Structure 1
Amino acid sequence: MSTQPQNTDAALSSEFGGDPTETVTPLSKDNTFHLLQNERRRMALAYLNEQTGTVEMRDVAEQVAAWENDTTVQQLHSDERQRVYIALYQTHLPKLDDEGVIEYNQSRGLIETTPHVADLCEYIDIPQLAAEADADTTAPVETDSSTAPLGDYEFEWSDYYLGLSGLSTLTLLASSAGLIPASIIPQFAIVVLVVTAFALSAAGQAVMARIA
């Protein structure tokens, strides 16, 4: 009995949960403009447009981080790499997947492109991307859910949660030591306030991720 060769399209369909033979629906102008608003998405698209076959998500993150920091992948610092990785993982690649631009297997970190990638790249000035990444500008830009500019400091959610945790711990310790009289603020009320602060922070981050 002869063995039939594996169907490559079928294998990709099984891997990414899509049908490679289905007709690709053109993106609307609104979706096109929204997807191209963010510089990291433009860089990710530019990189993906130069690749063939299945692409490792980590490779995309490293190249985008290198462009942003005007350096090479080999010279990237871990924090530079991690900042971009988190933003792509949590926000930008899922959005491109939702819009049908890519097929993104988030759990395995694998990406398969669709013809939409080339279509979107027609609107991107590829040679200008690296220059934009390190150019100073006063024009308002869209920010990622993981970071937001604050003067000369780039806000990080990880720093925020670390600070909130420290403040909450100090407050609870002060209450336990009697430095905050229970007659003024009961310890139970402090616990409720701490839990509420974390819940509202998580909700705010989730909303920013959806908007980005």
Structure 2
Amino acid sequence: MLESRERDRPLDRAEIHDVLSNDRRWRALELLADETPRDLRSLADDIAAAESGESPAPREVRQSVYVTLHQNHLPKLDSLGVVEYDDTSKQVDLGSRARELDVYLEVVERGDLSWSEYYLGVVVLGLVSTGASLAGTPVLASFDPYVYATGALVALLGSIALQIRQQGSPWFDRLTE
């Protein structure tokens, strides 16, 4: 259990890297983000199926995943406040600090845009339209170049606010408290 002063500080980079450097911990957090709380057995079965590529996974793989989750990974995540693990009932739930890892767990599907690609597109579009307006391009020159530049900045600001709202931000949460 975390002491109250430990809960007040955000996870540092080394802790985040350590948590996410293990595939089983990573998968456990992804599965818990989709369905929580979960019992250890179903969590282990799903991770074992992903690792083995078979459903259900072979018994030895399921047992190995179950034991390492129970003895190593879940207690570690629990000690950091990322999950809440009751080793008696074998129930696992996301902890108070799980949101700090959301941005690292975001998976962009093939063909979809990541936030960074979207931001790059907004900046390029803003620069091109502003430059075209300055150069006197017939359609784009009808508006002042400041309109395009301001529009791109407003789009960036709005997008960043949306992303922070969707994914959360420990830094922003501290500012608003």
User: Which of the five TM-score ranges fits, normalised by the shorter chain?
Assistant: 0.5 to 0.7
- Specify the SS of the correspondent of 1:122: helix
Q: Of Structure 1 and Structure 2, which has the larger fraction of its residues in helix? A: 2
CA positional deviation for 1:71: 2.3
Match for residue 31 of structure 2? 47
Q: Is the 8 A contact 2:10 2:100 kept in 1?
A: no
Give the whole-Å Cα distance in 2 for the aligned partners of 1:67 and 1:126: 16
The alpha-carbon distance between structure 1 residues 118 and 69, as it changes in their structure 2 partners (threshold 3 A), is: farther
CA positional deviation for 1:24: 5.5
CA positional deviation for 1:119: 2.8
CA positional deviation for 1:111: 1.3
1:102 to 78, 83, 91: 83
How big is each residue's C-alpha offset from its partner over 1:79-111, in whole Å with a ceiling of 9 and x where there is no partner?
Answer: 110010011010000000011111110111011
Counting matched residue pairs gives: 107
- Specify the SS of the correspondent of 2:15: helix
1:67 to 50, 59, 69: 50
Match for residue 39 of structure 2? 56
Letter of the 1:114 counterpart: G
CA positional deviation for 1:26: 1.8
Whether 1:87 aligns to 2:68 is: yes
Q: Is the 8 A contact 2:81 2:98 kept in 1?
A: no
* Correspondence list, 1:87-166, <5 A: 87-124=68-105, 126=107
CA positional deviation for 1:121: 3.6
Q: Is the 8 A contact 1:97 1:103 kept in 2?
A: yes
Letter of the 2:29 counterpart: L
Give the whole-Å Cα distance in 2 for the aligned partners of 1:126 and 1:44: 15
Q: Structure 1: which 5+ residue stretches go unaligned?
A: 1-16, 129-212
- Specify the SS of the correspondent of 1:80: helix
Match for residue 22 of structure 2? 38
Give the whole-Å Cα distance in 1 for the aligned partners of 2:35 and 2:10: 21
Give the whole-Å Cα distance in 2 for the aligned partners of 1:47 and 1:79: 21
Give the whole-Å Cα distance in 2 for the aligned partners of 1:115 and 1:99: 9
Letter of the 1:37 counterpart: S
TM-score between the two structures when normalised by the length of structure 2 = 0.53
CA positional deviation for 1:122: 2.1
Give the whole-Å Cα distance in 2 for the aligned partners of 1:101 and 1:69: 26
The alpha-carbon distance between structure 1 residues 110 and 24, as it changes in their structure 2 partners (threshold 3 A), is: farther
How big is each residue's C-alpha offset from its partner over 1:131-162, in whole Å with a ceiling of 9 and x where there is no partner?
Answer: xxxxxxxxxxxxxxxxxxxxxxxxxxxxxxxx
Q: Is the 8 A contact 1:49 1:118 kept in 2?
A: no
The alpha-carbon distance between structure 1 residues 34 and 82, as it changes in their structure 2 partners (threshold 3 A), is: same
Q: Is the 8 A contact 1:48 1:117 kept in 2?
A: no
Q: Structure 2: which 5+ residue stretches go unaligned?
A: 110-177
Give the whole-Å Cα distance in 2 for the aligned partners of 1:124 and 1:93: 17
TM-score between the two structures when normalised by the length of structure 1 = 0.45
Give the whole-Å Cα distance in 2 for the aligned partners of 1:34 and 1:55: 23
Q: RMSD value over aligned CA atoms?
A: 2.6
